[in-house]
Homo-oligomer: A and B are copies of this chain.
Amino acid sequence: MRVFGEIAGIPEGSEFESRPDLSHYGIHRPLQAGISGSQVEGADSIVLSGGYEDDKDYGNVIIYTGHGGRSQVTGFQVADQQLSHQNLALTLSCQRGLPVRVIRGHRHKSEFSPVQGYRYDGLYRVESYWRERGLSGYFVWRFRLIKIENSVKVTGVEEEQPIYGKSKRIETTIQRIIRSTELSAYVKTMYNFQCQVCMVEISTNIGFYAEAAHIQPLGEPHNGPDTIENILCLCPNHHVMLDFGGFGIEDDLTLIGIKGKLYKKPKHIIGQTFLQYHREHFVINNW
């Protein structure tokens, strides 16, 4: 099973002697490939090991080059990179907000590289991806990764009851984000990335895009639960409108403020208390 996020017992900064060690501990499974991932689930880890001259490493921000198109003999770029396999996996992590483990190797040319072996340097999110002509003249795919750290701590609002130590709390928050993205992926797949309000499918260069929206928001003071009963599959437009009270939803799923009724699969039970909470807190009657 592919694990997204932290590996239990392996803190950021852990060092490893070799690629087989990285693989053994589940930090980065493949022995040769720089990207670990699948075209269906997304990418869970990458290794920076000096393969691409045009990677850039700013520490908290990494510009990473995708896979493919290089000669197995000379190592030179001899063809365009395709948006498939591991490259596609990284774009899925981007669109779904999945965390990616980053490992730096000693051969990676950067002031942030370890002097020997490999070091696990924590979780990053894939902020964007694009195609460009590399130094070779062939197309490569590139990815901008941004470190997940303080931003996560800020999002967690349970500072009032510090039951755990600080690093434990951050870890808990990250695990919650991962759980949330798994639930989100489940709901989006259930609806084939169609919006439950307008039935639109948003097209991108790698397929359809949708957002998972919490009806009663997470976090203080709302404390809505992170469960399927509290999640909708929406297009970005209707997600914004939900969050800013542009429409409400009656218990019988009739929409308030806009015409129509929320589309719902029979197996998707939506909690009426969450709909009620949303109506009371976000929808004003006289707008």
A239: nearest chain-B partner, CB-CB: B236
Q: Which residues of B sit under 8 angstroms from A280, Cβ to Cβ?
A: 131-132
Contacts of A236 on B, CB cut-off 8 Å? 235-237, 239-240
Cα distance A149–B149 in the bound complex, in angstroms: 12
List of B residues within 8 angstroms of A83 by Cβ: 284
Tell me which residues across on chain B come within 8 A of A221, comparing CB atoms: 56, 63, 142
Distance A239 CA – B128 CA, assembled complex (angstroms): 13
Contact of A200 among B95, B130, B237 (CB under 8 A): B237
Q: Is A204 an interface residue (CB 8 A)?
A: yes
Q: A58-B220, A154-B146, A220-B63 are in contact. Are A132 and B206 (CB under 8 A)?
A: no
CB closest residue in chain B, given A210: B240
Chain B nearest Cβ from A142, distance in angstroms: 8
The listed residue (B150, B155, B282) touching A149 by CB distance below 8 A is: B150
Indicate whether A209 reaches chain B with its CB closer than 8 angstroms: yes
Q: Which residue of B lies closest to A203 (CB)?
A: B246
- Roughly how many angstroms separate A144 CA and B154 CA in the complex, as a whole number? 12
Is the pair B237, A202 in contact by a Cβ cutoff of 8 Å?
A: yes
Q: How far is the CB of A7 from chain B (nearest CB, A)?
A: 23
Hey, which chain B residues are within 8 Å of A160, CB to CB?
A: 58
Is the beta-carbon distance between A61 and B244 smaller than 8 angstroms?
no
Query: When the two chains form their complex, are residues B150 and A220 in contact, meaning their CB atoms are under 8 A apart?
Result: no
Contacts of A283 on B, CB cut-off 8 Å?
Answer: 205
- Residues on the B chain within 8 Å of A164, using CB: none
From A159, A245, A280, residue with most partner B Cβ within 10 Å: A245
B237 contacts A205, CB within 8 Å?
no
* A60 CB contacts on chain B under 8 angstroms: 153-154, 159
A205 contacts B282, CB within 8 Å?
yes
A–B complex contacts, Cβ < 8 Å, 21 sampled: A56-B221, A58-B159, A59-B159, A60-B153, A131-B282, A132-B280, A144-B219, A146-B155, A149-B150, A150-B150, A150-B154, A202-B237, A205-B244, A205-B284, A206-B287, A209-B240, A209-B246, A235-B236, A236-B236, A236-B237, A236-B239
Q: A95-B244, A128-B217, A146-B155 are in contact. List 13 more A-B contacts (CB 8 A).
A: A56-B221, A58-B160, A58-B220, A130-B222, A144-B219, A150-B151, A150-B154, A202-B237, A203-B246, A205-B244, A206-B287, A209-B241, A209-B246
